[in-house]
Amino acid sequence: MTSLTQRSSGLVQRRTEASRNAADKERAAGGGAGSGEDEAQSRRDEQDDDDKGDSKETRLTLMEEVLLLGLKDREVICKLDAPTGDVLLDEALKHVKETQPPETVQNWIELLSGETWNPLKLHYQLRNVRERLAKNLVEKGVLTTEKQNFLLFDMTTHPLTNNNIKQRLIKKVQEAVLDKWVNDPHRMDKRLLALIYLAHASDVLENAFAPLLDEQYDLATKRVRQLLDLDPEVECLKANTNEVLWAVVAAFTK
């Protein structure tokens, strides 16, 4: 598992972007300190703006969010019969439902990712996942498609075209471990908790923390470390927990 470290390039980027953010705040404060009610209303308006930005066309899946962050870019028995509408998820669920006896979460992660030594189970692997996720983001207007020439061949790339969506995603991840930190994973939004774990396992969580001030960065990484140090076997036994979520966490943090 890749640990969260302060890379020198990341430190420079954090200081540069943090200085810009601090300057913006100073200019905003030039008009005088607002009342508590004004600040609260401002936050509500900002939340409303974020909600409006999440239209049906641009609402991202969890895997798409993990991919977007990366741009410099127990036994599982499936009981869901209706398709989810997400092609990759439906493909994975189809494999799960049709396989008897059931595989463990750890085994499914290995099978679906192609990390298995059993040649008879290679058909479970989800093919071209990154490219398919990128095409989904193109259809949603987040990325675009370009052709770049590399010596003797052309390569298809997907540059970011809608930075607002990515910035909202980064802000959501930052707030989860800073301003909106609840110090209890079972009180956190389950989808957001899963996003943090998966982003860390995919080595893209650092990208969300790069713009932070040094003190904020240290605090954010400290709280992520608290989540990573939790024992999934213990957490899955607590009341009102999501056993599948913690089984996936165990598979990625073993």
Report the pLDDT averaged over residues 99-120.
88
What is the distance between the alpha carbons of residues 233 and 247, in angstroms, rounded to a whole number?
8
Both 148 and 189 in one domain: the answer is no
pTM: 0.73
Q: Looking at residue 223, what is its pLDDT?
A: 98
Q: Dump pLDDT digits (tens) for 197-212.
A: 999 999 999 999 999 9
If one counts the domains in the chain, the total is 3
Q: Looking at residue 62, what is its pLDDT?
A: 85
Is 212 domain-assigned? yes
The model's confidence at residue 83, banded by pLDDT at 50, 70 and 90, is confident
Is 171 domain-assigned? yes
Cα angle for residues 14, 229, 110 (degrees, 5° grid): 95
The yes-or-no verdict on residue 161 having pLDDT over 60 is yes
Q: Dump pLDDT digits (tens) for 56-73.
A: 556 888 887 887 777 754
What is the distance between the alpha carbons of residues 80 and 221, in angstroms, rounded to a whole number?
36
C-alpha to C-alpha distances, 45 to 169, 183, 213, 225, nearest whole angstrom: 17, 26, 25, 32
What is the distance between the alpha carbons of residues 249 and 106, in angstroms, rounded to a whole number?
10
The pLDDT mean for the chain works out to 80
Quick one: the chain helix, strand, coil %, rounded to 5?
60, 5, 35
Q: Looking at residue 57, what is its pLDDT?
A: 52
Is 191 domain-assigned? yes
Contact 248, 194 (CB under 8 A): yes
Both 169 and 249 in one domain: the answer is yes
Q: What percent of the chain has pLDDT over 90?
A: 45
Count of CA atoms in the C-beta half-sphere (13 A) of 168:
19
The whole domain housing 139 covers 129-161
Both 134 and 116 in one domain: the answer is no
Report the pLDDT averaged over residues 26-35.
48
CA 241 from chain centre, in angstroms, equals 20
